[in-house]
Amino acid sequence: MPKTKDEFDADRDLYSGLIRLHVLHHAVEEPPIFGLGMIEELNRHGYRISPGSLYPILHGLEKKGYLRSDSKRNGRSIRKEYRATPLGKKALAAAKGKVRELFRELIEGK
């Protein structure tokens, strides 16, 4: 049975924190990241996210000081590339412990 718009929006709210962590992880481990590349990466993991949803996430992480961006010319267009800041790296390290604990509870039943 297809999901209603309300069910879809509820799932999006539930997964939004996971998406932010995923983005931050790639910004730390595989810099630089950029919007379209992250959309493709998130799609590979089953997240369906549009540019209209991802770019506010990137801007929000930048505003909080977790990411910094640089504009790079890519042919005729200019692309924004993002890298994790020291604060972003610290935040991801702290989140890993919390995710590990949650994983144990959800998956391992501990």
Tokens for 73? 């010319």
**Domain residue ranges in the chain:** 5-108
Q: Other C-beta atoms within 10 Å of 91: how many? A: 20
Q: Yes or no: is domain 5-108 CATH 1.10.3470.10?
A: no
Summarize pLDDT for 66-77 with one digit per residue, the tens: 999 999 887 888
CB 81 within 8 A of CB 96: no
pTM above 0.85, yes or no: no
Q: Which residue, chain included where needed, has tokens 């369906």? A: 48
Give the pLDDT confidence score for residue 34 in this predicted structure: 94
Q: What is the dihedral of CA 44, 49, 50, 51, to 10 degrees?
A: -80
Distance (Å, whole) CA 90 – CA 79:
26
Summarize pLDDT for 15-29 with one digit per residue, the tens: 888 999 999 999 999
pLDDT tens, the chain, 110 aa long = 545 545 545 576 778 889 999 999 999 999 999 999 999 999 999 888 999 999 999 999 999 999 999 998 878 888 899 999 999 999 999 999 998 898 888 888 76
